[in-house]
Structure 1
Amino acid sequence: MTTLADPVPGGRPGDVDRATSLGRKLAEQGVYGIVLSYVDTAGVGRVKTVPTAKLASAAAWGVGMSPVFDTFLANDSIVATDVLGSPDGDLRLYPDLDRLTVLAGQPGWAWVPVDRITQEGERHPGCARTFLRRIVRETAERHGITFKAGIEIEWAVGQGAAPDGEFVPAATGPAYGATRQIELSDFGADLLAALGRQGGGVDQFHPEYAAGQFELSVDPLDPVAAADLSVLVRQTIRAVAQRHGLRVSFAPAVSAQGVGNGGHVHLSAWRGGANLHAGGDRRYGMTADAESFLAGVLARLPALTAVTAPSPASYLRLQPSQWAGVFTAWGRETRETALRVITGTAGRHDQAANLEVKPVDLAANPYLALGCLIAAGMDGLTSTAALPEETTGDPVRLGAEAAQARGVRRLPTSLGGAVAEFRGDELLRATLGPVLADAVIAVREGEIATVDGLDDERVAAAYRWKY
């Protein structure tokens, strides 16, 4: 389980002693440094590192880092809000010891996610991980509902020796093909071994559709742990690939044409140990609460894309008829709808049934994405929102009348359109709080300005190696 209590100056009860013991054990294992990891508003992983001997100090007093990174863009430019983006101030990074992991792909290092608090010991209102912890805790306390989540990871593998900035696929076999798996067999085996040593809970690993593309899915965890694992798995993939002379990109689109990299979210709501997405009397075994949860997410998808598809490159990926889910529609096992209802195989419904959210990519901060998806779904659940008619097949083939009857419309086709929807969504902005909501808007608008005047290929190139 993930630590849900907020950090405090001096350390939470038992943390310092525990960190002291962990530090000694890590040193005995040949671990010399610890990566303190968080994700900024632009979706970029940021880190500080400390020697293993300083873990106890970090658990007690944190490690300093400027709050300016909350308004960094993917290219490291800085934008500002009324409270963020200045050179003033400091924050403390506190490691979550429950999630500390020895990095099998980076010998001599361990990794741990952090929460950020102010020097005065208060929650930092711009900390995405703290935001998600709060959402998870409050939902359990107020409604008795917990969640299981998993984030799919798709990435493109390129030749490490390719000309600077270019993407040359490291595998040329067909989509889902045995040839491609064989071409990168050694890399794949080493990756699975590293993730296994880290306890990553890998469920599947296979070649995907686009050139040089692979996908990995993991077992479901509580939402905070699921977001942590998404960050950790990507760090491990990158490290193992580098040791094989390869270069990887998790960007939404490595080129302007073709299928991009997704980060589909799987989410299920639970009460009293029972899965609300199975065993009910509504469509496909859903309970009334599950239907309303799905309806809540569906209603806010246009605004959610500002969080789940936060890069200008995201909209190169979000194209019809490419299984990206670009219409406000749902369906059972329908891979073209934005929300895919998964019932699971007979005999496993009670454990496997879940909701897949498709218009998500790995430029998204996973903590923000999961927190906002849960907030949208819970708004639908508590208001007993009605789920509209199901869509089967490709929604692009619906006539205007049928689409209107189902409430099916195209998701924003640009980041600017997504930001406009987000600005108009009071629930999402209130859930994030003014500091985080304003940071989301400022960073997205900064990214839009960065690519102003660029054609699609140059947009893809601008973000190709940022994620």
Structure 2
Amino acid sequence: MGTTRRTPVSEAAAGTTTGAAQPAGGCQEPGHGRERARAAAARLAQAGVHGTALTWVDNAGLTRVKAVPADKLAQAAATGVGMSPCFDVYLVDDSMTTSEYIGGPDGDLRLVPDLDRLTVLSAQPGWAWAPVDRHEQDGTPYAACQRGFARGMAARALAEHGIELRMGFETEWVAVRGPLPDAEAEPAYPTTGPAYGMARLVENADYLRDVLAALSAQGVEVLQIHPEYAAGQFEVSVAPSDPVGAADLAVLVRETVRAVSLRHGLTASFAPVVDPAGVGNGGHLHLSLWRDGRNLCAGGEGPFGMTRECEAFLGGVLRELPALLALGAPSPASYLRLRPSRWAGAFRCWGLENREAALRFVASRAASPGGANAELKCVDAAANPYLLVGGVLAAGLAGLAEAAAGRSARLPAPVSGDPALRGDQPGLPGSLTAALEQFERSEVLREALGGPLFDAVRAVRAGEIALFEGASEREIAAATRGRY
């Protein structure tokens, strides 16, 4: 798996980004690089940018935003932008629950843009984008910052094991003509061709070309784009980055696709399901482990050439998968997608190139010796990508810690064929209620997330379970397909 290169604005003809994807490190603090921020703001103004969208993703998986004029970017980088912490306990319908540490109208945070990720948005002329780190009013990191959690887990992997993770998301979406329909109406898709068919690409050639062009102009390296299985469904995969960078890219790619879709009279839905009778949208996560330029997923003595460290890491992930679903399949709608025999990974097993296993291993190929990686298939785009990469890291690190302590860290036997037909593999939780029960029992995730973030996630999951209690599958799909 290679690494995405993002072109600095000083190197680009039109000014696409102001920084390349960087390895995980310290978060951006208020007052960080004031002169650099002023220079970046000046370059944005020269590029015709009037506003910068500053985004974070809440625990319901929704991307929230505050925006500043281009000439206020330096001030935002210096002092942050105010925002209430209450959004950490907002539900998917914008109602609010509460938790032990977070909730109610009190308090304020500072949103500090990460200038290394600052990007001019090709499909939204006059706009730029940057993800934020969240801080307390006194400048200390906010304990429930999901992006900070992901960064902390990546830093632990490097500090404790000398391992760097490369991660990348697949983004799937369904495009619908005009606005998304209500619960009673059927969606109108912009394509009639067969699944994965060239006819679909031909019918949507201008649309997909513009998606590629916009991502390229933003310095995002696309690996592939194609029509998917469901009606109106497409997928784009981008080159991997460090864990925080991968989550940032997941946000940027999604909002770019959304903007291009609107220009074509389409609405893009990244929800787990648009039609509950059909195949849903995944948000698969690929990962590989690296040390000193070597891919630890290959060249070892473990299964299919993985090193023992890779095996231990993946063993920790597989063990925690039922609890990780509360992070990676976080909506009641997720379980309308997570069903057997739909390539969704509904069983707690792993296998070589097995698209029905929750954890799919991709072995090294002669043409791409560094390409060995693992794919987590049981997750979707309702997930907060920062929570997901951080949670996967925490689970993998627990596996590495067991191996270092001399305890067994071997993977079980790999599974071939459809686990639903074999009948000998454990299923993953079939509802958010069951996943939340596993999450509440996970000491690994509780310790890694810390009290404020763990409890806020738990409160949001419980709130959405109550929100959709008694709703039909069609009602759940209709209520969520326009939210992600």
Q: TM-score, normalised by structure 1?
A: 0.96
| Displacement after TM superposition at 1:122 (Å) | 1.4
1:80 alignment counterpart: 98
1:294 alignment counterpart: 314
Match of 1:194 among 197, 214, 230: 214
1:335 alignment counterpart: 355
C-alpha separation in 2, matches of 1:161 and 1:307: 28
3-state SS in 2 of match to 1:152: strand
Aligned AA for 2:456? A
Q: Note the residue ranges of structure 2 that are not aligned, 5 or more in a row.
A: 1-21, 404-408
2:200 alignment counterpart: 180
Are residues 1:35 and 2:53 paired? yes
C-alpha separation in 1, matches of 2:419 and 2:110: 47
1:398 alignment counterpart: 422
2:401 alignment counterpart: 382
Distance change (3 Å), C-alpha of 1:162 and 1:374? closer
| 1:365-376 map, 5 Å | 365-376=384-395
Aligned AA for 1:129? R
| Displacement after TM superposition at 1:378 (Å) | 1.4
Are residues 1:363 and 2:385 paired? no
C-alpha separation in 2, matches of 1:54 and 1:162: 35
Asked if the contact 1:2/1:98 (under 8 Å) is kept, the reply is: no
| Displacement after TM superposition at 1:282 (Å) | 1.7
Aligned AA for 1:426? E
1:107 alignment counterpart: 125
| 1:140-179 map, 5 Å | 140-160=158-178, 163=181, 166=185, 167-179=187-199
Aligned AA for 1:86? G
| Displacement after TM superposition at 1:6 (Å) | 2.8
Are residues 1:309 and 2:329 paired? yes
| Displacement after TM superposition at 1:164 (Å) | 5.5
Asked if the contact 1:7/1:117 (under 8 Å) is kept, the reply is: no
Q: Note the residue ranges of structure 1 that are not aligned, 5 or more in a row.
A: none
| Displacement after TM superposition at 1:347 (Å) | 3.1
3-state SS in 2 of match to 1:412: coil
Match of 1:409 among 426, 441, 452: 426
1:139 alignment counterpart: 157
Match of 1:430 among 447, 468, 473: 447
Asked if the contact 2:86/2:102 (under 8 Å) is kept, the reply is: yes
1:8 alignment counterpart: 29
Aligned length: 456
* Deviation readout 1:218-267 (Å, 9 max, x if unpaired): 00111100100000010000001001110110000011112100000001
Asked if the contact 1:429/1:437 (under 8 Å) is kept, the reply is: yes
| Displacement after TM superposition at 1:292 (Å) | 1.0
User: What CA RMSD, in Å, does the superposition of the two structures yield over aligned residues?
Assistant: 1.1
Q: TM-score, normalised by structure 2?
A: 0.93
Asked if the contact 1:169/1:211 (under 8 Å) is kept, the reply is: yes
Asked if the contact 2:283/2:380 (under 8 Å) is kept, the reply is: yes
| 1:222-371 map, 5 Å | 222-349=242-369, 351-371=370-390
3-state SS in 2 of match to 1:381: helix
Identity among equivalent pairs (%): 54
C-alpha separation in 2, matches of 1:445 and 1:82: 13
* Deviation readout 1:332-362 (Å, 9 max, x if unpaired): 001000010001432312x100010001100
C-alpha separation in 2, matches of 1:292 and 1:163: 46
Aligned AA for 1:242? L
Runs of 4+ in 1 over 2 A off after TM superposition: 6-9, 161-167
| Displacement after TM superposition at 1:185 (Å) | 1.1
2:241 alignment counterpart: 221
3-state SS in 2 of match to 1:338: strand
Asked if the contact 2:24/2:155 (under 8 Å) is kept, the reply is: no
